[in-house]
Structure 1
């Protein structure tokens, strides 16, 4: 029996959506699943070549998205941030209230309670419920300046980077009224689904390092290539931002992802079971590296905020 804390959090996620991929014949393994995931074909590797002609998400049970409080409160947060990473962020009073509501909603759930119990008892941090709640707000939502590569990115936060994504606009490459660039972060299946529904993101195909039909082996994580698109009405410019490889859990609830990321953060602080910024774990027979990066200070050392968190699919078995 796997008693790893990440398996415990996964097992307790009663708000998780059931996910089904297609089989080798193109049929859904479970046509009644909450999410029908259509990975289609391997990405070619170039931003201007789309081999996946259909969306990644064939169907999502939106009744659950609109009904479960933690999903509802998370979705309200997604429009609070500017996608361009050089634009200043201003957190309004109303947005602070939305953050508080989201934290209150997830703190009532089993995954977050398991995370706190593990952090207190296994890692010996001894955080009261109120201190733990305040720490969740701080490490996920406080704004900081990140100095990756010595280049300061102001007003960054863990939530923005992971759940919303940050666009790196390259104005020097502007041609034919099109601004190109890249995306960092963007590790949320909910954000990807909503952007895909609004035709703001184009799924270009899967991009696993492993060989074989990885979608069937592992429908709860996607590794992909994508092109995010928008129109800047003020400048009358089209924005096209490329991500060569991105990955995120699929179907997991917000509380499950926050719980796993928070546990990884505290394990990382404690120097516990991490190797090269990654924590290896097995969930339901599938092996993952959970990548956890803390922010970088001006002196190059890691700070006390989460910078990024995402799963890396390593295959089934050992």
Structure 2
């Protein structure tokens, strides 16, 4: 569709096959894959977050003391261990791509990846439990599905939103209200964002981020 041809979505989709879904398996990115990953913050995400003035982004200047794109690369794309000893996870992979852990789907909160995997026959949607209509801003769905034959008993995701807007919302909430619900407004509707911290080698990184309904 035309929506999927937007440059930022094209760049985002290029990342989706870069990761091993097994959280215990180390993700060894090839040079080209690493370049695809590094391009995301500088090309799209930084601009979107800086332009999101209505969210009062980074009102507390002490929250950030480095170039924004460097912060984004660190909190989203630093690889870390989530199970076992191998660095097989990151905030981006967990939240936007999805992972498999102990026979269950972990993370996986992005509609573009959802549609991609469903089209390929690797995802079976079992139906929704809750639904929020955000008008021209998109939707939020809480539902159930299987991915690569493993179950996600319940999970929520935005539908129809751009990846840079999602990352902007999640980043803001992670930096301002980590490990708790963060309320924002989309199309005059209150939306709760939940982020979780993953502490690794002295760094506070994103463990997970998603809309909470």
The alignment's TM-score, normalised by the length of structure 2, stands at 0.87
Task: Say if 1:220 and 1:249, in contact at 8 Å, map to a contact too.
Answer: yes
Give 1:280 shift: 2.5
- Superposed, 1:36-185 pairs within 5 Å as 62-66=1-5, 68-107=6-45, 109=47, 111-115=48-52, 118-120=56-58, 122-125=59-62, 127=64, 131-146=67-82, 154-169=87-102, 181-185=103-107
- Is 133-142 or 279-288 further displaced after alignment? 279-288
Give 1:108 shift: 6.6
Q: Does 1:195 align with 2:117?
A: yes
In 2, distance between residues paired with 1:217 and 1:253? 14
Find 2:209's aligned residue among 291, 309, 314. Answer: 309
The alignment's TM-score, normalised by the length of structure 1, stands at 0.60
Counterpart residue number, 1:42: none
Task: Say if 1:69 and 1:105, in contact at 8 Å, map to a contact too.
Answer: no
Give 1:86 shift: 1.0
In 2, distance between residues paired with 1:118 and 1:143? 29
In 1, distance between residues paired with 2:128 and 2:122? 18
The structure number with the bigger radius of gyration is 1
Q: SS of the residue aligned with 1:154?
A: coil
In 2, distance between residues paired with 1:282 and 1:82? 34
Counterpart residue number, 1:273: none
Using a 3 Å threshold, how does the CA distance of structure 1 residues 107 and 303 change in structure 2: closer, same or farther? closer
Using a 3 Å threshold, how does the CA distance of structure 1 residues 88 and 95 change in structure 2: closer, same or farther? same
Find 2:108's aligned residue among 186, 193, 197. Answer: 186
Find 2:192's aligned residue among 289, 303, 311. Answer: 289
Task: Say if 1:264 and 1:292, in contact at 8 Å, map to a contact too.
Answer: yes
Using a 3 Å threshold, how does the CA distance of structure 1 residues 303 and 72 change in structure 2: closer, same or farther? same
Counterpart residue number, 1:222: 141
Higher-helix-fraction structure: 2
C-alpha RMSD of the superposition? 2.7
Give 1:65 shift: 0.8
- Segments of 5+ residues of structure 2 without an aligned counterpart are none
Aligned residue-pair number? 210
Give 1:255 shift: 0.9
Give 1:296 shift: 4.3
